[in-house]
Chains A and B, each alone.
Chain A
Amino acid sequence: MLRIEKAAWDAMVSHAEKIFPKECCGVMVGVDGVVKDAVPLSNVYTGPQEDFFVMDPQDLNRVDKEARARGLDVLGVYHSHPNCDAYFSKRDLEHSCSWFSYVVLSIKNGRFDHANSYRPDFDQKEAPKEELIYG
């Protein structure tokens, strides 16, 4: 189960809506399965960003260090699906990392629609949904 506190959740939604129609991405930090903070990152994908995102590993490394310094953990990553449902796509799965929760936000016509959280497995074969509580 993943719980996202209101301030962090609001930051994620407004980030995703602002970047629409491109895909946004970011990191969720917190402790014991509760997200306290959302850290928006740049989508560094050099192709069309409407249906793909790539995080800069250096950014991820920096967020990890900063979280440690505050006694928090990196719990997961989030990204948006513009004008598309919040499923875990084939592409998501092919690029997934089993260490994290993946929150997917569906943004339709620039407004938040719904979200899901997934836990991909090591082999990038499956990503079962996990319970997600936000707001």
Chain B
Amino acid sequence: MAKVLIPTPLRQYAGKHDSVELQGATVGEVLTALTAQFGDLRRHLYTDEGKLRSFVNVYVNDDDIRYLNKDATPVKDGDTVSIVPSIAGGTAGVAGVDAPPATLSKEEILRYSRHLIMPEVGMDGQLKLKNAKVALIGTGGLGAPLGMYLAAAGVGRIGLVDFDVVDFTNLQRQVIHGTKDVGRKKLDSAADTMQDINPYVEIDRHEVALTSENALQILKDYDFVVDGTDNFPTRYLVNDACVLLKKPSVYGSIFRFEGQATVFAYPGGPCYRCLYREPPPPGLVPSCAEGGVLGILPGVIGLIQATETVKLILGAGEPLVGRLLLYDALAMRFRELKLRRNPECPVCGDHPTIHELIDYQEFCGVPNQTHEPTPAEGEIDPVEVKAKIDRGDPFVLIDVREPHEYQICRIPYARLIPLNDLPKRVNELDSADEIVAHCKSGVRSGKAVDFLKQAGFKKVRNMKGGILAWSDKVDPSVPKY
């Protein structure tokens, strides 16, 4: 005889016994005897097909029968058979049993009437929008039209991620912020505009830089992720996080007069790493701050992203999956490139090698701040440059910016030799002279210094912080751009 312990909630179906002595040579036989004696117990332990329910674990003494012989596990006289449920759960899973709000208020019906009268959206579609949760990374150039139109369209919950502050150079394109917002947190400024457009939208403010440590935690609560950032580490981070969380990510990028958009991490579709397995070497692709951007461009690309986001929520039309849309504002042309999921992709492929988020700063070759002591050698402070000019020290100051930048502002003593022209004009310089190079912020002049050193120049230094620092430290009348 084996003793079967009946768990508390099942005792009511087992004649209120807390244990029952039963005959049987195996676990299967003992349980059959149990359910034969107490018929009501059967449906609590077995499915209609006669299999033990997935949440039922059976132990003989202290051993789980799954690791013994399952049903055929032998039972001896005096053994104790315990029935123990397995209990697990968690927040993940978009579809809760708690039904989301199933109606629109009178005011909302009025607000969304132009959507409601289109059968492609209608009441069902508008409710999908209302119940949708979208994470928007960045409230800058792309984030501005995205935030405003997604709010206006009635996306119920929008999570904004940004830690930046509005400055004057943003206003040429980031239309979610106004002149009065300069100096405010972008998060607050964007949320105010969105809330003004549509007070029915719930806005989560995540005032952080998205990192490997917080990305999964932040993004897991949203159905879709829209990437409005313009740097490689964040782009790879968002991509990998979306693949790991199985959430589609709506991608857009902009530079000067050209933009791109597509949807990544859609089931069966490619991801950013299928397109670009590795980032370009740091410094090769200039950012918008370095290369400039037509202010209207992010409006066009951001609204393509907004359109795709709304289509994904509605399940309408043909999503921009497996197609990279290219936009050229000067030619006013759109083109499409086919993208395929790469079965060898390290994150979304058939045998992924990346199972968790990595250090994206390191991956993209961006030095970590902690490992970056200021390289005093080879650099010179603008204040010292000014002192050299005032003292009449013999040295050559070269400005390696472009001619159109030189038109905006200049340092009177400087000679313009754009970085790209430097190789063919290097003979204008004398390696015996002391040379200082400057640009807008110090990046391009750093390259110029490297180039000159390789060409055999010994006494070359980079003016730290470029003409922007000159304006801050030496001559505030020089405009910043």
Report A's interface with B, CB cutoff 8 A: 21, 23, 25, 45, 48, 50-55, 57-58, 60-61, 64, 67-68, 73-75, 77, 79, 81-85, 87-100, 102, 116, 118, 122-124, 126-127, 129
Question: Is B82 in contact with chain A by the CB < 8 A criterion?
Answer: yes
Cβ-defined contact, B91 with A91, below 8 A: yes
Cβ-defined contact, A57 with B86, below 8 A: yes
Cβ-defined contact, A89 with B18, below 8 A: no
Closest A residue to B54 using CB positions = A124
17 A-B pairs with CB atoms under 8 Å apart are A23-B91, A53-B88, A68-B8, A74-B8, A74-B9, A81-B91, A84-B91, A87-B96, A89-B89, A89-B93, A90-B95, A93-B97, A97-B55, A97-B87, A99-B85, A122-B43, A127-B97
Interface size class of B (residues with CB under 8 A): 35 or more
Cβ-defined contact, B90 with A73, below 8 A: no
Instruction: Report chain A residues within 8 Å CB of B94.
Output: 90
Cβ-defined contact, B97 with A51, below 8 A: no
Contact of B8 among A67, A82, A83 (CB under 8 A): A67
Cβ-defined contact, A84 with B98, below 8 A: no
A61 in contact with B89 given A21-B217, A88-B96, A90-B95 (CB within 8 Å): no
A95 in contact with B57 given A21-B217, A87-B96 (CB within 8 Å): no
A90 in contact with B93 given A55-B86, A95-B88 (CB within 8 Å): yes
Cβ-defined contact, B97 with A118, below 8 A: yes
A90 in contact with B86 given A74-B9, A82-B91, A99-B10 (CB within 8 Å): no
CA distance A25 to B89 in the complex (A): 9
Cβ-defined contact, B55 with A53, below 8 A: no
Question: Is B208 in contact with chain A by the CB < 8 A criterion?
Answer: no
Question: Is B225 in contact with chain A by the CB < 8 A criterion?
Answer: no
CA distance A129 to B9 in the complex (A): 18
CA distance A61 to B97 in the complex (A): 28
With A52-B89, A55-B88 known, 10 other A-B pairs at CB within 8 A are A53-B88, A53-B90, A61-B82, A88-B98, A90-B93, A91-B92, A91-B93, A94-B93, A97-B56, A99-B9
B156 CB to closest chain A CB, in angstroms? 13
A89 in contact with B87 given A61-B82, A83-B221, A99-B7 (CB within 8 Å): no
Question: Is B362 in contact with chain A by the CB < 8 A criterion?
Answer: no
CA distance A95 to B98 in the complex (A): 16
Instruction: Report chain B residues within 8 Å CB of A97.
Output: 55-56, 85-87
A82 CB to closest chain B CB, in angstroms? 7
Cβ-defined contact, A87 with B97, below 8 A: yes
Question: Is B62 in contact with chain A by the CB < 8 A criterion?
Answer: yes
CA distance A75 to B12 in the complex (A): 13
A95 in contact with B9 given A57-B84, A87-B98 (CB within 8 Å): no
Residues facing A in B68-88 (CB within 8 A) are: 82, 84-88
Cβ-defined contact, B18 with A68, below 8 A: yes
Question: Is B192 in contact with chain A by the CB < 8 A criterion?
Answer: no
CA distance A29 to B84 in the complex (A): 16
CA distance A84 to B219 in the complex (A): 12
Contact of A129 among B8, B55, B91, B98 (CB under 8 A): B98
A99 in contact with B82 given A51-B92, A124-B54 (CB within 8 Å): no
Instruction: Report chain B residues within 8 Å CB of A89.
Output: 89-93, 95-97
Cβ-defined contact, B98 with A116, below 8 A: yes
Question: Is B216 in contact with chain A by the CB < 8 A criterion?
Answer: yes
Cβ-defined contact, B97 with A23, below 8 A: no
CA distance A93 to B8 in the complex (A): 21
CA distance A94 to B89 in the complex (A): 8
Cβ-defined contact, B89 with A92, below 8 A: yes
Instruction: Report chain A residues within 8 Å CB of B217.
Output: 21, 50, 83
B35 CB to closest chain A CB, in angstroms? 14
Instruction: Report chain B residues within 8 Å CB of A58.
Output: 62, 84
Contact of A91 among B44, B56, B86, B89 (CB under 8 A): B89
CA distance A21 to B451 in the complex (A): 51
9 tightest A-B CB contacts, nearest first: A90-B93, A87-B96, A52-B90, A87-B98, A99-B9, A92-B89, A73-B8, A95-B88, A97-B85
